[in-house]
Structure 1
Amino acid sequence: MTTPDDYHSYDYLDAGEDYRSFELAEMHAGFEPYEVPLTAEQAERLEAVLAEDTVVSLHEHPFQFPADIEGDTWDYIREGRVHTPYDFLAESPLDAVFDFHLDGLSGIHSKHGWKWDDIVHDVAMRAADQAHSDYAVRAGSVADIDRARDEGKLAFVPALESSAMVENELDRIDLLYGMGIRLMGVTYNASNSIGTGKRDIYERDGGLTSFGVDAVHRMNDVGIAVSTSHASEQTTLDVCEVSEKPVFDTHALAAGVGDRGTSDDCFEAIADTGGVVGVVASSVLPDIETYMEHFEYMVDLVGVDHVAFGPDVLYGDHRALLGLLAEQHDIDPPGEIDGRLHVKGLENPTEAWQNIPRWLVKEGYTDEEIEKVLGGNILRALDDAW
């Protein structure tokens, strides 16, 4: 466990004077914490494993939402300064985290999200905050991740879930790289100039566009890893066919587990590129046991060399946030699962990453297997993609 410096987000300014402050969610946001139980012998092995392995989350939103999700979220977003709880993250064994920013919630200047100005604001503002922390390392290479681990710090890998803001400007990919982005999805459910989104299929799946082929090649060339999360099946297969570098699905749900699940064919195609599938802590999975059953399904499907973890959680009432978004988009809000409103044992990045290694040790995975799925697979693929 690492101890961060005493810096808190935007301490270089005066809250309430330079920007509007909000009451932010605490670590557990009203939920009871849960810890996977270990014997004394297993706990000793866990300590040894974590001392040796590099732990990387392939997909998180590692920042705080307001305590009052319904009342304050939109004002908080429009303020343009999301807060990272470095002290909360330091209670996890994470060495690196893929930070997906506000993504489609980036409504700082527009109500619709994914606009170029909004993405630039969100990415650059978080970079400014991280630059003032001695604990945060803004990672642009595998060497940066290694350095963060060696120095007892946390590497943040800037990432985005969609390329929508690229529009028809191929050079924007270079600009995003220059701003630090090192992984980008092709679509986020809705189609864009690059490809067809998962929720945007009517009579046919259009797959990757001709511009999308150029965009994937540009991402390969500049050193931005490509993710197919939230893309349609044909788009995913097309990306895997045209990409010259390993492809990622940073937070994946298998078909049959949820109504937005991805087919086995897509996961196998990703593995064939040398890529990695990160397992998501979806709201359709009630607890860490069902989450890890999903992980084992993925391992059986594509092999232990191509699976990692991308829980996709945050600090705040995640279910309340999903309800707020459902209201905005006029869709049904998520309901309870087994009487709970969150995935037990995976409530936020700290709890998730305390429990994932514990579960692997408890279930008797080998040291080599644990090293691969906790981060080794990701680093191997990134070494090629970057």
Structure 2
Amino acid sequence: MKKILSIALGATMAFACGTEPQEVDYTQLSDEERLEVAKEIAQSTIIVDGHMDLPFRMYNLGNTMNGEIYDFINRQESGNIDYVRAREGGIDAPFMAIYIPAIYQERGGAKALADTLIMMVERMAATWPDKVALAKSVDDIENNFKKGLLSLPMGIENAAAIEDDIDNVAYFYNKGIRYMTLTHGKDNLVGDSSYDDSETHGGLSEFGREVVAEMNRLGMIIDVSHITDKTFFDVAEVSKAPIVATHSSARNFTPGFERNVSDEIIKKIAEKDGLVMITFGGSFVDQAFADRNTANREHIASWLEEKGLSRSDTAAQEYIQKYMADNRPNVHVSKVAEHIDYVAKLVGIDHVGLGSDFDGVGDTLPEGLKDASMYPNLIAELLKLGYSKEDIEKICSKNFFRVWKSIEDVAKSA
């Protein structure tokens, strides 16, 4: 990784003065100067984010196809992304997660919910065609970028959406789904979840092997976030195409947290020319944050039991709000940069990307990385670590584009 790069200093210096760009050692700049450079990079570079839970958040707010559409275009006080903040932060292709809670695989309705969430994303593009567009390929994203449009590619989170029908993989691919996270909070028909101790299949199920093969055939990206280590290595063995963790961080920083990826898994992903897209949530990036969060939850549960209250009671709400304000753990955006740096040093710069999990991790996001307007803060931290503009372009989108095209090439050659 180069410490010297040729780029306009702070987007206002060399180019603004009409002179040739000069090589600058960005590690030697002030934080303010680095941030100006980072803002310029964010606006001029395509940024892909592997995972955002906006569709399910909209659904929870009652924004179904028959309801009033969520005001995505104007700045919102809640949530982590809207059009204004996306433009400020330079994000160009946030993957809309079509999230299926595990309860739906038990009570039914998983496919129907997926269809509803997909229609909601389609409705956003239809409502604001001058600002937002769907995207089903690298070319779509690049063309939308040239037109000044925000791309909304889609991925399914939890293969429970396909229920027990292998034909539903192609059904969702034809509806624009370009990746599928194999599990979520519970084991499903495809494989075992890292959040579930049941080990129902002992890894990938026989049906799961069929699903992986079908995803390879179609050119659908296999997302290995949320699965157990055993399931992962089964997937790595079966898949003929590269694999991606669209929103996972490095387990090195959170020992024992199987939801994050181990060094062995990171190396196997790189061996298959895949990608680890680092997620932002505090409990994913910092062990001290996770420990404090766990202690807070345990305290509140104990207090509620002692007082005979439920979370919905007014007295409980007041106490919880004050307690969390006094005891909320903090972590800085620099910790996310450390995860990126760790993966890059372990397996190379070509195998790391971004997967925020915005709108999916509540109020656990790091200082300086609370919403979609703040990608420049992360880029500035990477510049501080000595990453070049070329490196950052790879992290922001070029690595993902390479992997996505490779997966499509496998499908074409099948």
TM-score normalised by length of structure 1: 0.75
Q: 1:100: which partner in 2?
A: 97
Q: How does 1:361-376 map to 2 (within 5 A)?
A: 361-376=383-398
Which digits, 9 at most, give the CA deviation of each residue in 1:334-365, with x for residues without a partner? xxxxxxx54211112222x2322222233331
Q: 2:271: which partner in 1?
A: 272
Describe the shift of the 1:355–1:205 C-alpha distance in structure 2 as closer, same or farther (beyond 3 A). Answer: farther
Describe the shift of the 1:235–1:77 C-alpha distance in structure 2 as closer, same or farther (beyond 3 A). Answer: farther
C-alpha distance in structure 2 between counterparts of 1:179 and 1:91, whole Å: 30
Shift of residue 175, structure 1, vs aligned partner:
0.8
Q: Is contact 1:60–1:349 with CA below 8 Å preserved after alignment?
A: no
Q: Is contact 2:187–2:198 with CA below 8 Å preserved after alignment?
A: no
Shift of residue 150, structure 1, vs aligned partner:
0.9
- Is 1:302 aligned to 2:302, yes or no? no
Local SS of the residue matching 1:308: strand
Which digits, 9 at most, give the CA deviation of each residue in 1:291-319, with x for residues without a partner? 2112211212221110011111129x913
Describe the shift of the 1:201–1:155 C-alpha distance in structure 2 as closer, same or farther (beyond 3 A). Answer: same
C-alpha distance in structure 2 between counterparts of 1:224 and 1:297, whole Å: 28
Q: Could you list the runs of 5+ residues in structure 1 that have no partner in the other structure?
A: 1-35, 67-72, 320-340
Q: Which amino acid aligns with 1:175?
A: Y
Q: Is contact 1:281–1:343 with CA below 8 Å preserved after alignment?
A: yes
Length, aligned pairs only: 319
Q: 1:123: which partner in 2?
A: 118
Which digits, 9 at most, give the CA deviation of each residue in 1:1-54, with x for residues without a partner? xxxxxxxxxxxxxxxxxxxxxxxxxxxxxxxxxxx97343x3554355346532
Q: How does 1:145-294 map to 2 (within 5 A)?
A: 145-202=141-198, 206-258=202-254, 259=257, 260-284=259-283, 285=286, 286-294=331-339
- Is 1:346 aligned to 2:369, yes or no? yes
Identity of aligned residues (%): 27
Q: Which amino acid aligns with 1:126?
A: V
Describe the shift of the 1:37–1:242 C-alpha distance in structure 2 as closer, same or farther (beyond 3 A). Answer: farther
Shift of residue 167, structure 1, vs aligned partner:
2.1
Q: Is contact 2:46–2:145 with CA below 8 Å preserved after alignment?
A: yes
C-alpha distance in structure 1 between counterparts of 2:102 and 2:35, whole Å: 39
C-alpha distance in structure 2 between counterparts of 1:74 and 1:39, whole Å: 39
Q: Which amino acid aligns with 1:76?
A: G
Q: Is contact 1:106–1:114 with CA below 8 Å preserved after alignment?
A: no
Which digits, 9 at most, give the CA deviation of each residue in 1:173-198, with x for residues without a partner? 11101111111111113111111111
Q: Is contact 2:101–2:185 with CA below 8 Å preserved after alignment?
A: no
C-alpha distance in structure 1 between counterparts of 2:212 and 2:106, whole Å: 28
Q: Which amino acid aligns with 2:172?
A: L
Q: Is contact 2:186–2:195 with CA below 8 Å preserved after alignment?
A: yes
Task: Choose from 124, 127, 136 the match for 1:132.
Answer: 127
Shift of residue 205, structure 1, vs aligned partner:
6.5
C-alpha distance in structure 2 between counterparts of 1:294 and 1:272, whole Å: 19
C-alpha distance in structure 2 between counterparts of 1:345 and 1:43, whole Å: 12
C-alpha distance in structure 1 between counterparts of 2:71 and 2:100, whole Å: 15
Q: Which amino acid aligns with 1:357?
A: I
Higher-Rg member (1/2): 2
Task: Choose from 379, 396, 402 the match for 1:357.
Answer: 379
C-alpha distance in structure 1 between counterparts of 2:198 and 2:106, whole Å: 26
TM-score normalised by length of structure 2: 0.70
C-alpha distance in structure 1 between counterparts of 2:200 and 2:90, whole Å: 44
RMSD in angstroms over aligned alpha carbons? 2.9
- Is 1:318 aligned to 2:362, yes or no? yes
Q: 2:26: which partner in 1?
A: none
Describe the shift of the 1:354–1:367 C-alpha distance in structure 2 as closer, same or farther (beyond 3 A). Answer: closer
- Is 1:89 aligned to 2:86, yes or no? yes
Q: 2:301: which partner in 1?
A: none
C-alpha distance in structure 2 between counterparts of 1:51 and 1:342, whole Å: 22
C-alpha distance in structure 2 between counterparts of 1:349 and 1:48, whole Å: 16
Q: Is contact 2:86–2:92 with CA below 8 Å preserved after alignment?
A: no
Local SS of the residue matching 1:57: strand
Describe the shift of the 1:111–1:203 C-alpha distance in structure 2 as closer, same or farther (beyond 3 A). Answer: closer
Shift of residue 201, structure 1, vs aligned partner:
2.9
Q: Could you list the runs of 5+ residues in structure 2 that have no partner in the other structure?
A: 1-28, 73-81, 287-330, 409-414
Q: 2:16: which partner in 1?
A: none
Q: Which amino acid aligns with 1:269?
A: K
Which digits, 9 at most, give the CA deviation of each residue in 1:45-97, with x for residues without a partner? 4355346532111122246958xxxxxx9563778765533223222211211
- Is 1:384 aligned to 2:403, yes or no? no
Q: Is contact 1:62–1:349 with CA below 8 Å preserved after alignment?
A: no
Task: Choose from 38, 43, 52 the match for 1:46.
Answer: 38
C-alpha distance in structure 1 between counterparts of 2:102 and 2:84, whole Å: 24
Higher helix share: 2
